[in-house]
Amino acid sequence: MTDSLRSLDSLRDATAAAFPGALDELMQLVRIPSVSWDGFDLTHVAATAQHVHARLSASPLFARGGDNEGVWIVREPASDSQGGGDTAMGREAVIARRNAAPGYPTVMLYAHHDVQPEGDLELWDSNPFDPEIRDGRLYGRGAADDKAGVMVHLTALDTLAAVTAGNPNIGIVVFIEGEEEFGSKSFPQILSRWRDRLAADVIVVADSDNRSVDIPSLTVSLRGNVTCTLTVSTLAHASHSGMLGGAVPDGMMAAVRLLDSFYTADGSVAIAGLHRHEAPVPDFTLDELQHDSGLLPGVSDIGSGPILSRLWFQPSLTVTGIDAPTVMNASNTVLPSVRVKVSMRVAPGQTAQAAFEALSAHIAAHTPWGAHVDIADVDLGNPFLVDASGSAAALELEALRDAWDGADPVCAGVGGSIPFIAQLNSVFPDAQILVTGVEDPESRAHSPNESLSLVVFHRAILAETLLLSRLDERGE
């Protein structure tokens, strides 16, 4: 039986009381520019880790000091062989653990305290690291992705501690990573080294989005990713284009023809061997797509089939960078080579490795004029499909509905990739993984003017508080 402290109304009141403090602390975190990329001041990443560590250390939940219980900052080497220099060592992650009472599940709460670089400051309406509230949204880098996720966990845990007198039955793991935006390079190493501290039955990943401010989502599928660079070369050296243009192909010509071969006339990916996932999707109109993407008047959408199927379940390929002379520095030269960065999304149901092999075979078959193509800097992340039929998913859907004033949650796919989720799944295959989030379509994570809806933030805290309290009451 639900005691009065844990009724929906009481937990709603407790969340409302905690909310101003949570928002204030979120703003403190946003003021720390914890960009995890190489070349940025990594003392800021250490500072956000310290903040989270101090915060968890002050909680009665982690003060018991039993086997594997406590709060730690961990730092492990990157486990892939790519890169070097700063990439050889991962960034600070924070782990906290409290063991479960017999018969109760352990819940892991995951978020990340690092952020993307701010990018072009000119494109921001306010300083990315001086958070500002405008029209019910908090603007700043990391305001949504994913410092709000960190604060959802910390605030929900505070309320759980309050309603259980600091002594809940469920086990709790908090895992706040410090390099999600830099490819989670030491994640596999952290998982294997600290497996006993991290082991959990339910894993809540607060790093995704919602259908809208008024419709919550549980993310049940994620596309994988393949990124690589292609260096397309045709000549041993540059020459004057007036002398040789028209008789020999330059690197740009060969690259342009190769890139063109990646797409069909309607803009679908033309690479043979890429999987397409079939599953029903909610309706999503062209108007909504235009609104969310900023598609210019007269520019058509690409691909075919339901729009959300294209975004969630079909492969895509984007050219995200080209190294070539700038227009200002352009001279009349046939270019010997051009370097291109390719970012591919992989449909659920195919490994990133298989998709990469399909891409490689396509390149070998479609490179014009015998041009040389060197493929390098390969990064692979597997897609993920969640089993939404588990008991924890049912509790989460109920918590989302209650927190969103009765709105039915959507089981959603996401076009983006969170490769570490596939890694969590392989290390803890029996754990139920719940991918929740604080973003909405206006959040613009990774972009200028990233923002968080304060309404979504509030509801996300309440939903997680309800989930934890109900798991704690019911066991599993």
The number of residues that bind Zn ion (CB under 5 A) is: 3
The least distance separating Zn ion from the CB of residue 216, rounded to whole angstroms, comes to 18
Q: How far apart are CA 219 and CA 177, in angstroms?
A: 20
The least distance separating Zn ion from the CB of residue 416, rounded to whole angstroms, comes to 9
Instruction: Answer yes or no whether residue 177 interacts with Zn ion by CB under 5 A.
Output: no
Among the listed ranges 114-122, 145-153, 323-331, 381-389, the one in contact with Zn ion (CB under 5 A) is 145-153
Q: Which is nearer to Zn ion, 76 or 207 (CB)?
A: 207
**Helix/strand/coil percentages in the chain, nearest 5:** 35, 25, 40
Give the contacts of 40 (CB within 8 A, at least 6 positions apart).
33, 117
Instruction: Answer yes or no whether residue 472 interacts with Zn ion by CB under 5 A.
Output: no
- Bond before 130 cis per omega within 30 degrees: no
List binders of Zn ion among 192-231 (CB under 5 A). Answer: 207
Instruction: Answer yes or no whether residue 146 interacts with Zn ion by CB under 5 A.
Output: yes
Instruction: Answer yes or no whether residue 76 interacts with Zn ion by CB under 5 A.
Output: no
Q: Which is nearer to Zn ion, 176 or 338 (CB)?
A: 176
The least distance separating Zn ion from the CB of residue 51, rounded to whole angstroms, comes to 18
The least distance separating Zn ion from the CB of residue 191, rounded to whole angstroms, comes to 18
Q: Which is nearer to Zn ion, 171 or 224 (CB)?
A: 224
Among the listed ranges 101-109, 137-145, 212-220, 391-399, the one in contact with Zn ion (CB under 5 A) is 137-145
The least distance separating Zn ion from the CB of residue 125, rounded to whole angstroms, comes to 22
- CA distances (Å), 475 to each of 104, 120, 226, 238, 264, in order? 5, 49, 40, 70, 52
At 434, which helix (H) or strand (E)? Answer: strand 432-439
The least distance separating Zn ion from the CB of residue 180, rounded to whole angstroms, comes to 5
Helix axes 8-30, 454-474, angle to 10 degrees: 130
Nearest-Å Rg of the Cα atoms of the chain is: 24
The least distance separating Zn ion from the CB of residue 423, rounded to whole angstroms, comes to 15
Q: Which is nearer to Zn ion, 177 or 201 (CB)?
A: 177
List binders of Zn ion among 236-295 (CB under 5 A). Answer: none
The least distance separating Zn ion from the CB of residue 150, rounded to whole angstroms, comes to 10
Residue bearing tokens 């996932």: 277
Q: Which is nearer to Zn ion, 395 or 434 (CB)?
A: 434
Q: What angle do CA 382, 388, 390 make, to 5 degrees?
A: 120
List binders of Zn ion among 8-47 (CB under 5 A). Answer: none
* Alpha helices for 58-176 (secondary structure H): 147-163
Residue 125, both tokens: 């309406």
The least distance separating Zn ion from the CB of residue 141, rounded to whole angstroms, comes to 12
Choose which of 92, 118, 145, 209 interacts with Zn ion (CB under 5 A): 145
Q: Which is nearer to Zn ion, 145 or 201 (CB)?
A: 145
The least distance separating Zn ion from the CB of residue 321, rounded to whole angstroms, comes to 21
Q: Which is nearer to Zn ion, 12 or 444 (CB)?
A: 444
β-strand 239-240 against 432-439: which pairing, if any?
unpaired
Residue bearing tokens 């290390």: 427
**Nearest one of 395, 465, 411, 381 to 109, comparing CA atoms:** 465
Q: Which is nearer to Zn ion, 180 or 402 (CB)?
A: 180
At 438, which helix (H) or strand (E)? Answer: strand 432-439
**Nearest one of 44, 81, 34 to 182, comparing CA atoms:** 34
3-class secondary structure, 177:
strand
Among the listed ranges 146-154, 208-216, 286-294, 296-304, the one in contact with Zn ion (CB under 5 A) is 146-154
Give burial (CB, 10 Å; 0-12/13-18/19+) of 25.
middle
Site string for Zn ion, 89-128 (x = CB under 5 A): ----------------------------------------
Q: Which is nearer to Zn ion, 142 or 251 (CB)?
A: 142
Contact (Cβ atoms closer than 8 angstroms) between residue 460 and residue 437: yes
Q: Which is nearer to Zn ion, 146 or 464 (CB)?
A: 146
Q: How far apart are CA 103 and CA 107, in angstroms?
A: 13
3-class secondary structure, 157:
helix
Q: How far apart are CA 278 and CA 261, in angstroms?
A: 25
Residue 316, both tokens: 């895509």
The least distance separating Zn ion from the CB of residue 455, rounded to whole angstroms, comes to 20
Among the listed ranges 64-72, 139-147, 161-169, 409-417, the one in contact with Zn ion (CB under 5 A) is 139-147
Q: Which is nearer to Zn ion, 207 or 250 (CB)?
A: 207
Binding site for Zn ion (CB under 5 A): 145-146, 207
